[in-house]
Amino acid sequence: MEVNDRSVNRLDGSPQMMKQGDSPSRSFSTLVLDKSEQTLAMQYRHDLTGSSRHDKLPVLSLILCSRNDQYMGNSLWRLQTTLNYVAQMVHVLAREEDVEVLVADWGSDIPLRDVLELSPAAARMVSFILIPPEIACELQKDSPFPEVLALNAAARRAGGEYIGRIDQDLLIGKRFLKYFFELHEGGRQLEVPLSSALLFANQRMVPYRFAVRCPPFWAVDKYIGWFGRFLKIEISSWNPFYCHGVGIWLVHRDLWNECGGYDERMIYMNTMEINMIARLMKNHKMVNLGKLVDYDFYHLEHYHPLVPRRSSTYRKVNPDPPFVKPDILNPNGPDWGLIQYPFEKLPYSPDRKKVETATFHQSPFEWWFFMLLIVSAGVQMAWDKIVKSFRIVNVVWRQRAHIAWETVRYQPLFSWPRLLVSLWVRKKRDQK
């Protein structure tokens, strides 16, 4: 891997920061270091990220945040499935030395590293940053879970040349990983240099009725293999693609430092990526990574299909102004990412027994179990669609009945048929 020494000093907050006269928009990423400065910067980055000076730095750091609190169901199962799945994909591609996964554990009373069941591959690849409850409670104010603070803490301590943010219940496919490394090694090209591209991908939705059963790893793997390309993509036509659910938000480490990561004032939910993207798009070009890899990101759905799928139903959300249209490139300053706190990268607990991520062996029992799982989930999904259809029909006919009644209620009874027919004809004409 070719390490960009120019980037090392910029992200890690080393003493060499900005020289007088540098452009503010590129103050942390365009300085040219002489050879001795590069050596010192590389040593500083190793020290900050917890790596030996002789370790090979990863190409890609995947960062995510979570807490041991059973948020919206079995969040521990979703998290360990995510970690085991990405580790399995990386292992299949023989890229263990090129990828690290960093989990920001925000305020867990019992740390995640002590309770998760990880495979040997995941145990080697995943590190944890523990933000203690007493510090977390002070920093989060009245927010139950400030993702911006947790993710920035992980990004600031990540060792990778590229840093990608994913959700704690997001499965990353092999297709994306192969494509990314081909880009990095020059086998593929974008319209813009990879190091300055803003890469965003939307996600596909693994149905709630499947995910809520917390199936074993091999069943999840088989489900994605069979149905992944047919799963619904969370995107619409009335907003830019990056305004919808994130599969991955991936940029070079220089760009994280250039803008200071997420705006750390946005301690509530939603619009955090939109804000960061808006700040960076003033100098860099957006790339729809999802289209390039056929949306190879799969969200383990945890919203019940018969309730509104809105974040505001469960948590307070960030207000639009002033965050949707930011006017400051780096609102956090040089101390972004809680760098004033001595948080360390911790390995998976050595006291935890590692579990094998069993593959699908096509034994009779596994076939019967998997098919039963698919059929039972499918039946419930079909029933959910019927219930939602009846709800929609009920709402539509209630609206129509209300309009009809308001049309005829003060008119003589004998004129009702004529008025209703006229109303029906007018509505048909307006629809054309």
Cα–Cα separations (whole angstroms), residue 82 to 161, 197, 322, 328: 22, 26, 34, 34
Q: How confident is the model at residue 34 (pLDDT cuts 50, 70, 90)?
A: very low
Top-confidence residue, 321 or 287: 287
Mean pLDDT of the region 27-31:
35
CB 213 within 8 A of CB 378: no
CB 97 within 8 A of CB 56: yes
pLDDT tens-digit series, residues 400-418? 888 989 888 888 988 999 9
Would you state the pLDDT for residue 376?
92
Structure tokens at 303: 């919203």
| Domain definitions of the chain by residue range | 5-347, 364-431
> How far is residue 119's CA from residue 76's CA, in Å, rounded to a whole number?
14
> How far is residue 57's CA from residue 80's CA, in Å, rounded to a whole number?
24
pLDDT tens-digit series, residues 264-293? 999 998 899 999 999 999 999 999 999 999
Structure tokens at 108: 């867990």
Give the chain's count of helices (H) and strands (E).
15, 11
99 alpha carbon, distance to own chain's centre: 17
Query: Is CATH 3.90.380.10 correct for 5-347?
Result: no
Tokens 């995107």, residue located: 235
> How far is residue 122's CA from residue 90's CA, in Å, rounded to a whole number?
10
Mean pLDDT of the region 223-244:
92
CB 243 within 8 A of CB 276: no
Helix ranges, 158-268 (H): 174-184, 208-211, 217-227, 253-259
pLDDT tens-digit series, residues 332-351? 999 999 999 999 999 998 87
Whether the pTM exceeds 0.75: the reply is: yes
Cα–Cα separations (whole angstroms), residue 406 to 54, 402, 419, 429: 79, 6, 11, 20
Would you state the pLDDT for residue 392?
84
pLDDT at residue 54 tops 50 = no
Please provide the average confidence, as pLDDT, over all residues in the chain: 85
CB 6 within 8 A of CB 42: no
3-state helix, strand, coil in the chain (%, to 5): 45, 15, 40
Mean pLDDT of the region 359-387:
84
Would you state the pLDDT for residue 30?
36
pLDDT tens-digit series, residues 197-217? 999 999 999 999 999 999 999
Would you state the pLDDT for residue 353?
67
pLDDT at residue 39 tops 60 = no
Q: Which segments of 203-302 are extended strands (E)? A: 204-206, 246-252, 286-288, 297-300
Cα–Cα separations (whole angstroms), residue 128 to 43, 83, 309: 22, 12, 30
> How far is residue 104's CA from residue 116's CA, in Å, rounded to a whole number?
14
CB 100 within 8 A of CB 90: no
Give residue 178's identity as a one-letter amino acid code. K
Tokens 């040349």, residue located: 161
pLDDT at residue 389 tops 80 = yes
Tokens 């729809």, residue located: 288
